[in-house]
């Protein structure tokens, strides 16, 4: 999807850097502890979009620090304004590409990664660009703590099936699979139902939402003999 860039958006983005939008750190030891001013667990959302999912989680869990990673810079503007208006102290944003995620976080620093409605890159030749490709999973494995989690949601059945295979091949333990998340008997306060802006739209359209939650094994390796492209 294309995003309309606000007039003079580069100047506006430069102005919003500070307390909420942080210059992406590169291999700075202890950066996030200093940034948040505490040792609380850090959860990150890669591709945060307009930030609805991230903000709702942060409101419900003040004891957890959240970092939104988004490569589309104009999206930082609206999300940072929402965070400032709500006076949330446990959310930071960085304008960054997931391909360099290991530069922004230390080894075993992160407690959870959310991947929500990532670009499916449907053509087979582009499989290695998917955020659940095993090359990306290895990057996440590096920054995640032992026994921490990746949570992935999509409305794309092919991407869902691909992701389940890649996660399994990595040796991670899949603890939950939902193939129609919003049509299950759940309490409406269940955090699994916290939605992104895309998700809310797709649910209204009657589309199934697929979800996977997997526990990380820090020492597992991708099974190349039976793996995908």
Q: Single out the catalytic residue among 119, 147, 180, 190.
A: 119
Report d(CA 160, CA 158) in Å as an integer. Answer: 5
Residue with tokens 């530069």: 103
Give the three-state DSSP class for 20: coil
In this structure, the dihedral spanned by the alpha carbons of residues 209, 213, 219 and 221, taken in order and rounded to 10 degrees, is -20
Q: What are phi and psi of 92, to 5 degrees?
A: -130, 155
Residue 7, phi then psi, degrees to nearest 5: -60, 135
Contact 120, 130 (CB under 8 A): yes
Q: Residue 195 corresponds to which tokens in the numbers above?
A: 């939605």
Contact in structure between 151 and 113 (CB atoms under 8 Å): yes
Instruction: Note if 11 is an active site residue.
Output: no
Q: If you compute the radius of gyration of the chain from its CA atoms, what whole number of angstroms results?
A: 17
State both tokens at 183. Answer: 């049509």
- Check if the beta carbon of residue 130 is closer than 8 Å to that of residue 159: yes
Give the containing element (helix H, strand E) for 136.
helix 134-143
Catalytic residues: 119
């Amino acid at each position: 999807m294309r995003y309309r860039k606000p007039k003079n958006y580069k100047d506006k983005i430069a102005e919003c850097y500070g307390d909420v939008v942080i210059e992406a750190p590169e291999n700075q030891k202890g950066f996030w502890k200093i940034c948040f001013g505490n040792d609380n667990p850090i959860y990150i959302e890669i591709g945060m979009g307009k930030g609805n999912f991230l903000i709702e989680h942060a409101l419900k869990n003040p004891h957890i620090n959240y970092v939104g990673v988004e490569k589309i810079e104009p999206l930082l503007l609206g999300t940072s304004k929402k965070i400032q208006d709500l006076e949330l102290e446990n959310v930071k944003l960085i304008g960054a590409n997931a391909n360099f995620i290991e530069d922004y976080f230390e080894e075993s620093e992160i407690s959870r990664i959310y991947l929500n409605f990532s670009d499916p890159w449907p053509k087979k030749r582009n499989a290695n660009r998917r955020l659940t490709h095993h090359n990306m999973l290895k990057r996440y494995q590096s920054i995640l703590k032992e026994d921490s989690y990746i949570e992935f949601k999509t409305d794309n059945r092919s991407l869902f099936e691909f992701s389940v295979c890649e996660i399994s091949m990595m040796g991670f333990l899949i603890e939950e699979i939902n193939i129609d998340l919003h049509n299950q008997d759940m309490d409406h306060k269940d955090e699994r139902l916290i939605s992104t802006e895309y998700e809310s739209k797709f649910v209204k359209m009657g589309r199934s939402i697929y979800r996977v939650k997997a526990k990380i094994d820090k020492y597992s390796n991708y099974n190349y003999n039976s793996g995908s492209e």
